[in-house]
Amino acid sequence: LIVVSNVTVQGKHTVVLPCWLSPTQSAEAMEVNWFYQDQFDAPVMLYKDKTLNSVSQPASYTGRVSFGQKEASSGGLTDGDVSLKLVNVTLADAGKYTCYVSSEKHHDKASLNLIVTQTGESPLLTAVIMENNKVNVSCESDGWYPKPKLQWSDGSSALTPKALVHSTASTGLASVHSWLLLFIFSTANVQLVNSDNKFITIKNNILRDNVDFPAGDKVTCLTAVTGTPGFSSGKHYWEVSLVINGAAAVPPKQSWWIGVTNKSVIPKDYKHSSIADNGFWFLSSSPDNAGVLQFSSNPPTCFYVSALPRKIGVFLDYDGGTLQFYNAENRRRLGFFPTKFSGEVFPLFNPGTGDRAPMEIMQRSQDVKP
């Protein structure tokens, strides 16, 4: 008998364990036994008297075994091909298999190993902004066999994770979870640009609509203002408060824009189309669409939130072409704006109209290390 030493297959797939007579001769009148792990009293497959006999077959193999072909041109038993075909392979099928062939005059046996692997789920990457300019990046994946390897890289060199944990479920499948901390941006101390805008008031980086602003809920360019510094490269992060500190009874601000613009001077035209196509990239909230946040994409992209955020974190990756927004209190990402920046962009703020709570641009201490 001739066999190969090892056969590898993905779980849930079909495999053929090749075995054949040499020299070539018909095996139709012979007895063929396939055994698993030397369990000779319970053959996986028994061929005797020119028929398959499943009387002693383990229940786990019922309906899953038959004769296979070691190659497409094989003539099967007529050519002495006694290969075993196993469908819907499981992890429990891995191990040593022995083929035993006998006739009235001769007998022979040979063994091979079946190796079963399982490719897990696509890795899930998550990023959470921490304090002091750190980002916690985690990676996890389930459903692997054998235990997978996980490596971090920044594209040019390997990174050492803070943790690397493997676990095994009752099914025998392995999971892996790892995370690391990165310093990836500078915290920008954004300042509001002095403005002669009669529709807003600015004091100590606190921004609100003027009490004499005309009635109406719609947020327009009339109440928008830019901040400094501008950015033309790098990664930068700043935060904006939408509540009155110490006034829990006052709800978070409902009317606002927060983002960036490539306009150093905001058009004072309430009909101006403030969308990404015109150089305005922002997240917004409006009282006339309660419980919904909206990106200035074209067409607009909206999503529901269970509660309006009290503090927004803005993460600008100029070179990477993304603008990300976070709930700065629980560090969860609200959404991101993929785009391609060119030229200088400036922080954009708009306090909208009618709220008791102002908009405050938060400041960080200057000794924070990026």
Tell me the mean pLDDT in the region 354-370.
Answer: 66
**Same-domain status, 196 and 315:** yes
Q: Is the dihedral of CA 265, 269, 273, 275 positive or negative?
A: positive
Does residue 190 form part of some domain? yes
The pLDDT value given to residue 188: 61
Tell me the mean pLDDT in the region 235-245.
Answer: 90
13 confidence band (pLDDT: 50, 70, 90): very high
Domain that holds residue 75: 2-117
Domain boundary among 142, 168, 183: 183
**Same-domain status, 212 and 105:** no
**Same-domain status, 102 and 129:** no
**Same-domain status, 225 and 174:** no
**Same-domain status, 247 and 279:** yes
Q: Is the dihedral of CA 129, 130, 134, 136 positive or negative?
A: negative
CA distance 191 to 97: 73
Q: Please check whether residue 198 is in contact with residue 189, taking contact to mean a CB–CB distance below 8 angstroms.
A: no
CA distance 65 to 87: 7
CATH of the domain at 132: 2.60.40.10
At 98-132, the pLDDT tens digits run 999 999 889 999 999 999 999 999 899 888 877 76
195 confidence band (pLDDT: 50, 70, 90): low
Q: Please check whether residue 314 is in contact with residue 241, taking contact to mean a CB–CB distance below 8 angstroms.
A: no
**Same-domain status, 306 and 210:** yes
pTM > 0.85: no
pLDDT value at 213 more than 60:
no
The pLDDT value given to residue 144: 94
CATH of the domain at 202: 2.60.120.920
The pLDDT value given to residue 265: 83
Per the model's pLDDT, the better-predicted residue between 247 and 114 turns out to be 114
pLDDT value at 365 more than 70:
no
363 confidence band (pLDDT: 50, 70, 90): low
**Same-domain status, 278 and 225:** yes
The pLDDT value given to residue 259: 95
**Same-domain status, 337 and 349:** yes
**Same-domain status, 224 and 302:** yes
The pLDDT value given to residue 369: 31
Domain boundary among 70, 93, 117: 117
Q: How many CB atoms lie within 10 A of CB 60?
A: 11
Residues 6+ apart with CB under 8 A from 170: none
**Same-domain status, 144 and 210:** no
pLDDT value at 183 more than 70:
no
341 confidence band (pLDDT: 50, 70, 90): very high
Does residue 98 form part of some domain? yes
Tell me the mean pLDDT in the region 59-74.
Answer: 95
**Same-domain status, 83 and 136:** no
**Same-domain status, 35 and 59:** yes
What rounded mean pLDDT belongs to the chain? 87
Q: Please check whether residue 254 is in contact with residue 268, taking contact to mean a CB–CB distance below 8 angstroms.
A: no
343 confidence band (pLDDT: 50, 70, 90): very high
Q: Count of domains in the chain? A: 3
At 125-174, the pLDDT tens digits run 888 877 766 788 899 999 999 999 999 987 667 888 999 999 999 989 99
The pLDDT value given to residue 80: 95
CA distance 325 to 287: 20
Does residue 370 form part of some domain? no
Between the two ends of the chain, the Cα-to-Cα distance in Å is 68
β-strands 186-187, 235-241: how paired?
A: parallel
